[in-house]
Structure 1
């Protein structure tokens, strides 16, 4: 989702005579069919030039496999730049391997921070940004985080959010998933749920209580819950079921966002989804105690309600009373972020 529009912008720059190319490396970290391959198909991403096949195992095992594979690739065919996106294990591992071979690193979505070191993503962000050369940021908040850590102004490029490039480009293509007709869903008359963070799903009693509170306080609305592979195993052990709770397989990008755009609200612990709901104007409750995307709260439709199941009821009451905030525009989340990134890259390398 974050790479697709950058590839489009590179193609566009090449069509105008600019000397820029890319090699797409799929690390294999995300190996679930619906959470990987379908995104390539639906978003028009070309087949990866390389797939390192580093899926599975612990985070340390994944990081090691990615570093070994990417290092071999760079030794055999060195690139002028390693561009990484987001905050997953692949982001950090590829940045480390590249820098050790003296390949400069550009980090898309640099500078965001939650302050929560219990989150693997936060460690990935901090390590990546500590060895990054060029920082492409989503907000002024991220810029300030980088400045505070000592990054020079000339290495910070405030470009916006590539996730929103993808959202705006494909919004007219959103596809109705089969669950829509199967359940007779109607606009604004159902709730979408996603849960995958350890703080919410690793403790069986906590997960059960969260789900029970959501079911109890959602009136008679259907609850559509595309289940992350991580969460699925735990739910199966718990034997959770309810007539209005529909646990389904992960959806493709176009199908999932069709549901989000038409939902009464979204209940999630995902950072990326809070960005999409902010732009689409859909109420969002985030079951976390912190967020690396505060702009979705200050400018968007997101509320950070914490991980205490007791927070569900008052927030549901607020939603059903019609008092949920409307949100507004977020600077540079305009669908042109990738164009800005590629132009900056052209400028950087024209000076070398």
Structure 2
């Protein structure tokens, strides 16, 4: 039974590692890399570190506007599906690669498997929200990470072949946490455990608005702690276009994007994490590191409900209040048992 897996962005590489390991025990998997993330530090390093099989197809789509990028992916993926004639197409999460893969398959009447189905931020200005809603509504098998995701789908009358298998990113963290202790990223940048806060920023809802970015940086200037920021290439490009100079933030240590194992070590040794990334929110929660989310809402509501995460948006005052507050992540199991990949493949085998 042949499955074509569509991936293209850093979070999807992480999710694909445990799923591919399990899937290939029973299925013939063909991996298609769209090239949505094409920087070596955002792509190749993940395949090497996580032992993901090399892509059978690399579409090299690269960066462009949402419509153009999605359209180019859609056309290129369709060609692969015509050639391979798979029984299923598997997609992850909520990127343009996800939507392109799901649309190409559904138009060819190939059943779509959506991993990380049912997430909702209820903010349709986010391109990710539109991608995940449309993907869920054309998918044949919907594998959800939480009970909340199951309920979200039920509210939209999506109930057929919907399963809570837990979160495959939790699988990845549990599997790789020990390996990450060998990372030398702290030593390379002269960092001490709990001596810094970790920053990630890449979502369009922040980076597309210079005033929001300036508000966030104004907060950073007032934080009495080193802020380590592995900067996303898109974010760097945006800031340069706005004429915003990061050297004006004296406590900010900007570094190049890092691999998964280095990132896990940076996360686990940070005092707090400031992010607008859904994946990083979860990793902070799994590692029990307090998280400050630079968004107005989150799909991962469990991290907020269990008091491991505070939502602050781009409000300077709220960011400072959250960073300076005394709280510790109150971890409660909400994302499965760390064996999600096996559970979802068991469902597919049935």
TM-score of the superposed pair, with normalisation by structure 1: 0.91
Deviations 1:301-348 (A, max 9, x none): 111122212212211221xxxx3143223234322000001100000x
Q: Which of these residues, 10, 13, 17, is aligned with residue 23 of structure 2?
A: 10
The 5 Å alignment of 1:220-231 reads 221-231=225-235
Equivalent residue, structure 2, for 1:101: 108
Q: Are residue 342 (structure 1) and residue 349 (structure 2) matched?
A: no
**8 Å CA contact retained: 1:115, 1:122:** yes
Equivalent residue, structure 1, for 2:256: 249
Instruction: Please state whether the residue corresponding to 1:225 is helix, strand or coil.
Output: strand
Equivalent residue, structure 1, for 2:42: 35
Equivalent residue, structure 1, for 2:8: none
**8 Å CA contact retained: 1:281, 1:300:** no
The 5 Å alignment of 1:314-329 reads 314-318=321-325, 323-329=326-332
CA distance in 2, matches of 1:280, 1:252: 17
Q: 1:156 to 1:300 in 2, by over 3 A?
A: farther
The 5 Å alignment of 1:45-194 reads 45-152=52-159, 154-174=160-180, 180-194=186-200
CA distance in 1, matches of 2:78, 2:209: 37
Equivalent residue, structure 1, for 2:6: none
Instruction: Please state whether the residue corresponding to 2:29 is helix, strand or coil.
Output: coil
Q: Are residue 306 (structure 1) and residue 319 (structure 2) matched?
A: no
CA distance in 2, matches of 1:51, 1:179: 29
Q: Are residue 278 (structure 1) and residue 281 (structure 2) matched?
A: no
Residues 169-178 or 265-274, more deviating: 169-178
**8 Å CA contact retained: 1:300, 1:329:** no
**8 Å CA contact retained: 1:192, 1:266:** yes
**8 Å CA contact retained: 1:300, 1:330:** no
Count, aligned residues: 334
Instruction: Please state whether the residue corresponding to 2:77 is helix, strand or coil.
Output: helix
Deviation, 1:176, is: 6.2
Deviation, 1:208, is: 2.3
CA distance in 1, matches of 2:110, 2:37: 24
CA distance in 2, matches of 1:160, 1:69: 31
Instruction: Please state whether the residue corresponding to 1:147 is helix, strand or coil.
Output: helix
- The answer for unaligned runs of 5 or more in structure 2 is 1-13
Q: 1:239 to 1:328 in 2, by over 3 A?
A: closer
Instruction: Please state whether the residue corresponding to 1:29 is helix, strand or coil.
Output: coil
CA distance in 2, matches of 1:57, 1:183: 33
- The answer for unaligned runs of 5 or more in structure 1 is 348-352
Q: 1:7 to 1:179 in 2, by over 3 A?
A: closer
CA distance in 1, matches of 2:163, 2:348: 10
Equivalent residue, structure 2, for 1:234: 238
Q: 1:132 to 1:300 in 2, by over 3 A?
A: farther
Equivalent residue, structure 2, for 1:199: 205
Deviations 1:122-178 (A, max 9, x none): 0000110111111100100000011111112x4111100011111110101115666
Greater Rg over alpha carbons, structure: 1
Q: 1:176 to 1:194 in 2, by over 3 A?
A: farther
